[in-house]
Amino acid sequence: ILSYVAHRYALHHPDSPLTEYHMQWQHSIIAPFAFVANYDHPLAYLVHIFLPTYIPALLFRFHLLTYHMYLAIISLEEAFGYSGYNVLPSGLILGGIARRQERHLMGEGKGNFSCLGIVDFVAGTTLGEDVVEDVREEAENNHVRERVKGRAKGVGRKPKGRSRS
C-alpha cells in the first residue's frame, strides 16, 4: 500500500515535483525489461522503492536475516515483473505483474500503480483487464481447469483393496 500511494501520488500527481523526474527517467523506457526495474531518478527511487521497503522494517523491527530475505523477494519480484516472462513457477501472480507493468509504461502512467494489482482494483486505477481477468487468463493459459478435474476424480472415494486394521 505504501508503494502504491508513493507511486500514484508522489510520482504521478500533476502537482508533485517528482512527477517530471519520474516521467523523464522511468517512463522514457519504451518496453520493460529486467535491467530497468530500478531505473529511476534517485529521488523518485528513494520515495517509491526505498522508503516503502525500509519503513516496514523500521516499524516492525525485522531481524537482519529476515529483512535481507524480504529484500531478495522484492528484488526478484521486480526483476520478474519487468522481464515480461509468463513462464515462471508462480505464473498466476507474476505473469499478471509483468502485464500490469507493461500496461503502466505503455499507458504513460495513467494506472496500474501497484505491482500485484489488488490496490489498483480497489482504487479503480486498473488499466486494461483487472486482477480477476488476469488470474482467469493465466488459469486458462496454464490449463488449471483440466488439471483440477483430473486430480479431483478420485476424491471422496474409498480406495479399493485396502482395509484398515
How far is residue 144's CA from residue 141's CA, in Å, rounded to a whole number?
8
Report the candidate in 100, 87, 108, 84 with the shortest Cα–Cα distance to residue 133.
Answer: 100
Give the per-residue pLDDT at 52.
86
The predicted pLDDT at position 83 comes to 74
- Helices 91-106, 131-141: crossing angle, 10 deg rounding: 130
Could you give phi then psi for residue 85, rounded to 5 degrees? -75, 140
CB atoms within 10 A of CB 30: 7
Q: What is the pLDDT of residue 65?
A: 92
Residue 88 has a pLDDT of 52
Please tell me the distance from the alpha carbon of residue 62 to that of residue 64, in angstroms, as a whole number.
6
pLDDT of amino acid 49 = 82
Q: Is residue 93's pLDDT more than 60?
A: no
φ/ψ region of 138 (left if φ > 0, alpha if ψ in -120 to 50, else beta) reads alpha
The residue that leads in pLDDT, 144 or 47, is: 47
Comparing 4-13, 59-68, 78-87, 128-137, the range with the smallest average pLDDT is 128-137
Three cell numbers, residue 63? 531481524
DSSP state of 115: S
Statement: residue 150 has pLDDT above 80: no
What average pLDDT score do residues 59-68 get? Answer: 89
Grid coordinates representing 60 are: 516492525
- For residue 75 the three cell numbers come to 528484488
Write out pLDDT tens, residues 69-92: 888 887 877 777 777 665 555 555
Residues 75, 20, 17, 118, CA torsion sign: negative
Q: What digits encode the pLDDT tens for the residues 95-136?
A: 567 777 777 777 777 777 777 667 777 877 777 665 566 667
What is the Cα–Cα distance from 39 to 151, expressed in whole angstroms? 44
**What is residue 108's predicted lDDT score, i.e. its pLDDT?**
74
% the chain with pLDDT above 90: 1
Helix (H, G, I), strand (E, B) or coil at 13: coil
Cβ–Cβ under 8 Å, residues 113 and 8:
yes
